[in-house]
Amino acid sequence: MVSALAFNVVAGFNDGGNLLAAAASSRTIPVPIAFALIVVGSFAGPLLFGTAVATTLGRGIADYSHVGMPLLLAAVTAALAAVLVSYAMRVPTSMSLALVSAMVGSLLVAGPPHAIMWSGVTKVVVSTLGSCVAGFLMGALVYAILIFLLRPVSRTLGDRIMRLQYGTVALQALGYGANDAEKMMGMIAAAGAGGVASQAFHVPLWAIVAAISAFAVGLAFGGMRVAKTVGGKLFTIRPQHALAFQAAAGATVMAASFAGAPLSTTETTASAVIGVGAAAKVRRVRWSVAAQIVFAWVITIPVAFASGALAGFVVRLFH
């Protein structure tokens, strides 16, 4: 439970920073208002759109009713360590890949092979990789459509249209609450149930409140650090860019949430930012920064897997 809440605090640093990126860079929305929209939207997401992603993570990756809660604790702690390393380097990483890689690593070392549900692992990996492509393409498409629609519009009206960012921030937050935030809700629910052998797996309201509260704490104290990387270092973001990538990322995450496919807000948002930048002007994008972010995503897999394997070894040693 404590490890799961700590993971959500770090998610506030990492994923929350992605959600704050547009507000911090375009200056259309004051950061405190963006913060409020993100927290409220994240809480409303699972209440309005269900907890399909929490169920996928809680009972679709591993059967902890057979291997016990110590391995669940070990996996979450190992994923947390991997994400903290990335955060210390000021680079956004994939919370989804970190968590699933750590779960697989710990179970391969200390759990029976049949405890891993490879179809669930495949679903997470495919949806995460797909979010990168979808985010990029949607970002470029939405930006192209937006610029086409804004051409005959006066500057005054254009500035008013940019206020739609209040809505796109809320859309991103709803998507986050219905997807990314549910990862730890699923882990908390699994731990509270002592495993997931029962088919009556569900996420209680207290788990939703606890997960979002921990996320809000992380967002308040560390979100701006990642926001400056995504929103300021990839390319110079203007209000029209922010509106486009927020809408693209929000729509992509919401679509995945309805399908119960866990993906990372980090990949989706950063990919949408790069897609918008490429559509606006390829040379404006700092591709070295983009490469650094992608490398961080890729390296997350072996780092989290190794951390999970080490944690699994410790559990096996003392149990």
* pLDDT at residue 305 in the model: 93
Phi first, then psi: give them for residue 317, nearest 5 degrees: -65, -35
Q: Is 291 helix (H, G, I), strand (E, B) or coil?
A: helix
Q: Is 229 helix (H, G, I), strand (E, B) or coil?
A: helix
Provide mean pLDDT across the span 25-39: 82
* pLDDT at residue 87 in the model: 67
* Structure confidence by residue, pLDDT tens digits, 244-282: 988 888 888 877 777 666 667 777 888 888 999 999 888
Which residues, other chains included, contact 26 with Cβ-Cβ below 8 Å and sequence gap of 6+?
Answer: 162, 165, 231, 237, 238, 239, 241, 242, 243
Residue 58 forms beta bridges with which residues?
A: none
Provide mean pLDDT across the span 48-53: 74
Q: Is 124 helix (H, G, I), strand (E, B) or coil?
A: helix
- Mark 26-37 as b/e (b = at least 16 C-beta within 10 Å): bebbeeeebbeb
Question: Taking all residues of the chain, what is their mean pLDDT, rounded to a whole number?
Answer: 80
Provide mean pLDDT across the span 311-319: 85
* pLDDT at residue 200 in the model: 56
Q: DSSP per residue over 208-227, as a string?
A: HHHHHHHHHHHHHHHHHHHH
* pLDDT at residue 292 in the model: 82
* pLDDT at residue 113 in the model: 72
Q: Is 38 helix (H, G, I), strand (E, B) or coil?
A: helix
Instruction: Using alpha carbons, list the distances in angstroms from residue 302 to 1, 104, 307.
Output: 25, 11, 8
Q: DSSP per residue over 40-99, as a string?
A: HHHHHHHHHH--HHHHHHHHSSB-HHHH-HHHHHHHHHHHHHHHHHHHHTT----HHHHH
Residue 116 forms beta bridges with which residues?
A: 62
Percent of the chain at pLDDT exceeding 90: 9
Closest CA to 75 of 39, 121, 38: 121
- pTM of full prediction above 0.85: no
Neighbour-count burial of 7, counting CB atoms closer than 10 A to its CB (0-12 exposed, 13-18 middle, 19+ buried): buried
* Structure confidence by residue, pLDDT tens digits, 169-227: 888 888 888 777 777 777 776 665 554 444 556 777 888 888 888 888 888 887 777 77
Provide mean pLDDT across the span 6-11: 78
Where is average pLDDT lowest: 156-160, 258-262, 295-299? 258-262
* Structure confidence by residue, pLDDT tens digits, 88-132: 766 667 777 888 899 899 989 887 777 888 888 888 788 778 888
Provide mean pLDDT across the span 154-175: 83
Q: Does the structure show a pLDDT above 60 at 137?
A: yes
* pLDDT at residue 198 in the model: 45
